[in-house]
Chain A
Amino acid sequence: MAGLQFYSNENIIKMDEDKILFYSGAADEIIDEIEKISHGSQSRINATPENVESGLAKLVLTLIELIRKLIEKQAMRRIDGGSLTDDQIENLGETLFKLENKMEELKKIFNLTDKDLNLNLGPLGDLL
């Protein structure tokens, strides 16, 4: 039995005019945003024998970026919580700064941009 799945309208970017019942504002702005969703839905790891290295690099860097952002978020929460000493703040700032710089270096090496470092998780939306 072949795969059986329910359909989602998320990927139908082209929309009949009669489907738009109400909208206001600049059509250009709306189209821009819809196009961004369409690009997002195509951001998947596409590894083939020819590009396996860059495909893997993209996957690994995406995961590292996710973890880096989580660490950053946690750091901000700790700052809000007021539990850090001045020394800890200095260390934290330096660590996060170096981590971000290292990520920039790695992105350059593998010729990746911020937009590349994302994964579409279907109904859950984008990873980053």
Chain B
Amino acid sequence: MSIIIYAIIDSLQLKKRIVDTDELLNEDSEDNIEFISTDTLTAIVSFEKENKQIPSQEDLLSYASVVDKIAKKYSILPMRYGSILESYNDVIALLEKNSESFLEVLKKINNKEEFSIRVLFSSQKQISTEDGIIVKQTFPDILQGESQSKKYLQSKYEEHIIEERRLHYIEKIQSLLLYDLQKISPFIEFKKNPTTAFIIDAVVLIERTKRNKLLELVAAVQAMYPEHNVILTGPWPAYNFTQMKIS
């Protein structure tokens, strides 16, 4: 038997607001979850007879869906798929050993939700012919010439300048967004852009009551940059703001 952990929640929050697991999910939910609690913390778990070695995409989505359902109502520390312990005592030991750090993170994310903001170039045409002409005119003198080496370096230098400009542009939009986001939350994280089409890939943790303010802000950014695609998704469980080492 193995115990899959979905999330960790402040026991006090559970005692105050819910009675049983049916209320935690939906009454018609097929997810069979249970609680393992200490005085301060509760692990939301399911008991599995078989331990799947290779999970399918469906398993991952189903796991994420359970975490998501719980996070819609409560402030939880979401766990990653594959958080499996062998016994009830292992779960208790985990909660007790990490009690202080779990509670600290739970306090930080209390009544908050995570959202993802992505700004994309609206097409692959961001490098215009005009830019190309400008780049050729600004080659350093040392690169002027017709030799194979110089021609090669010219093409590399052109790529380099275009990349520098792209990064500079991204930085400009990031600063603008950061300035506005900081007015509604101190918890903002910019991620490395996963492809060159991305201008911004950010996550923000905001109080549940401030969702409309975030929507207004995103709409304003879109209005300011109509040539780009702005995407706001969420609310997600606070995956990106609960990174911590556990023992």
Contacts and interface: CB of A to CB of B under 8 A. Distances in A.
Interface in B32-83: 57, 60-61, 64, 67, 77-83
A40 B191 CA distance: 15
A82 B140 contact: yes
A25 interface: yes
Contact of B239 (A6, A79, A93, A94): A6
A1 B120 CA distance: 42
Given A1-B86, A7-B64, A33-B195, A89 B150 contact: yes
Interface string A69-94: 00011011001101010100111111
A39 to B, nearest CB: 10
Contacts, number: 158
Nearest to B141: A82
Contacts of A4: 5, 79-80, 83-85, 94, 246
B90 A1 contact: yes
B231 A30 contact: yes
A30 B90 contact: no
Nearest to B65: A16
A124 B192 contact: yes
A56 to B, nearest CB: 24
Contact of B120 (A30, A40, A90): A30
A51 interface: no
Contacts of B80: 4-8
Contact of A125 (B81, B86, B116, B194): B194
Interface residues of A, number: 48
A25 B244 contact: no
| Size category of the binding interface on chain B | 35 or more
Nearest to B2: A2
Contacts of A93: 147-150, 152-153
Contact of B229 (A8, A14, A30, A90): A30
Given A6-B78, A75-B153, 10 more contacts: A1-B85, A2-B85, A4-B85, A4-B94, A7-B237, A9-B237, A22-B222, A33-B120, A36-B195, A91-B149
Interface of B: 2, 5, 57, 60-61, 64, 67, 77-86, 90, 94, 115-116, 120, 122-123, 140, 142-143, 147-150, 152-153, 156-157, 160, 191-195, 197-198, 215, 218-219, 222, 228-234, 236-237, 239-240, 242-244, 246
Q: Which 10 pairs, one residue from A and one from B, show the smallest C-beta to C-beta distance?
A: A93-B149, A25-B229, A7-B80, A125-B192, A5-B80, A22-B232, A76-B160, A23-B231, A2-B84, A93-B153
23 contacts: A1-B85, A1-B86, A4-B83, A4-B85, A4-B94, A5-B83, A7-B78, A8-B239, A9-B239, A21-B215, A24-B222, A33-B120, A33-B195, A33-B198, A40-B195, A73-B160, A76-B156, A79-B142, A82-B142, A90-B150, A92-B153, A96-B152, A123-B243
